[in-house]
A and B are shown apart, each in its own frame.
Chain A
Amino acid sequence: MKRYMNKRVLALTVLIALALVTLGCTATVGVGVSYGYPGRWGGGWGGPVYVGGPIW
């Protein structure tokens, strides 16, 4: 009986451990806020000469 209980405790511990690992793996990157808001581009650039870009 005691050995059976020990196995159950071990199995439960492994499950908890796996859940903790899974939580750690999936929660560190990404946001996922899904919200519909009108896009801001009405077509091609079509304006003055484009002057943007990275400056480091």
Chain B
Amino acid sequence: MTFGRTSWAVVLALILSAALGSGCAKNPETTPAADSEGPGTGEIGQFVWHELVTDDPAASRQFYRELLGWEFERTSRLGKPYSLARVGDRYVGGIVGVDRRPSDENISQWVSYMLVADIERATRAVEQGGGRVLVEPVGLGTDSRAALVIDSQGAPFGLLQTPEDLSQMLEGTIPNGGFLWRDYLAEDVETALSFYANFAGFGREQQRGNPDHYVMREGRGGAGLLPIENAPVESNWLPYVRVEDAADLASRTRDLGGEVLLAPSPEVRNGELAIVADPSGAALALVEWTQ
């Protein structure tokens, strides 16, 4: 049997179209979101991704594997080794290494990424609000771009502009081990509320019975704010991971090389919340969530 020119063309076209249409080009479990406001499926101002920047990726991976049951895919981003964390088939976050110079303080921390429509405009808005751009927008290999910024009180957070389908991370039940929420811990409450109102249109709804706690953005990918006067903490974003038993995990944290920064107690969410630091010093809240 001989292949004619037309037959070859058909074979080549089939191979290329199969590659371009491959399911890998999208995240698993993707479904279109109906009320998308952003260039992709997320809403502008929504926190959509969490990344650990750590000076000890290996110890951090081991810690989160043992504590939260995360599985890791070793890959690379922006020319550096990068570990994707998974719970089942759902991606929950990433881990990237950073070098610490001898003179540096602890530099390990979790960074929450906010979805923006126009990353150039967003970085300029950060600066106009009194913040600073730490890493100018960088391309991520597709049409996505990311930047790292600090707000007017020095709290770092990430910006992400992407046309990608994020529904795998933003829809469905958040599993135990998945990111559920984040609070801004504010040295200056008014300054923080004002910065994020101007930057992202966040609100300031005080909680009934708990007026120190504000909701700035409701729902999935949302955020709150609380004051940190008289605490040995600087303004920062603290992400929360959903867990089944915060007290049990807190009790195991030290044995795994981490530290308990806030032990569960009846006064704080009925003992269903703990704040821990991983072996590299990055803080993370663990919270039970049944609703």
Mark A residues whose CB is within 8 Å of B: 6, 9-10, 13-14, 16-18, 20-21, 23-56
| Complex contacts, B218 vs chain A, CB 8 Å | 55-56
| Complex contacts, A39 vs chain B, CB 8 Å | 105-109, 281-283
Q: Interface SS of chain A: helix, strand, loop or mixed?
A: loop
Q: How many A-B residue pairs have CB under 8 A?
A: 222
- Interface-centre pick from A17, A23, A31, A35 (highest chain B CB count, 10 A): A31
- Within the complex, the shortest CB–CB distance from B51 to chain A, in Å, comes to 6
Mark B residues whose CB is within 8 Å of A: 3, 8, 11-12, 15-16, 18-20, 22, 24-27, 49, 51, 53, 55, 75-78, 80, 82, 84, 91, 94, 96-101, 104-109, 111, 113, 134-135, 138, 140-142, 144, 146-148, 150, 154-156, 158, 160, 164, 169, 180-181, 183, 185, 207, 210, 212-213, 215, 218-220, 222, 224, 226-236, 238, 240, 259-262, 267-269, 273, 275, 277, 281-283, 285, 287, 289, 291
| Complex contacts, A55 vs chain B, CB 8 Å | 181, 207, 213, 215, 218, 222, 224
18 cross-chain CB contacts under 8 A: A17-B15, A27-B144, A29-B91, A30-B77, A30-B94, A31-B77, A32-B51, A33-B138, A33-B158, A35-B148, A36-B101, A38-B107, A39-B109, A40-B155, A42-B233, A43-B232, A45-B262, A52-B183
Once the chains bind, are A31 and B158 in contact (CB under 8 Å)?
Answer: yes
| Complex contacts, B25 vs chain A, CB 8 Å | 21, 24-25, 28
Q: Which residue of B78, B97, B232, B285 is within 8 Å of A53 (Cβ)? A: B285
Once the chains bind, are B287 and A54 in contact (CB under 8 Å)?
Answer: yes
Once the chains bind, are A30 and B100 in contact (CB under 8 Å)?
Answer: no
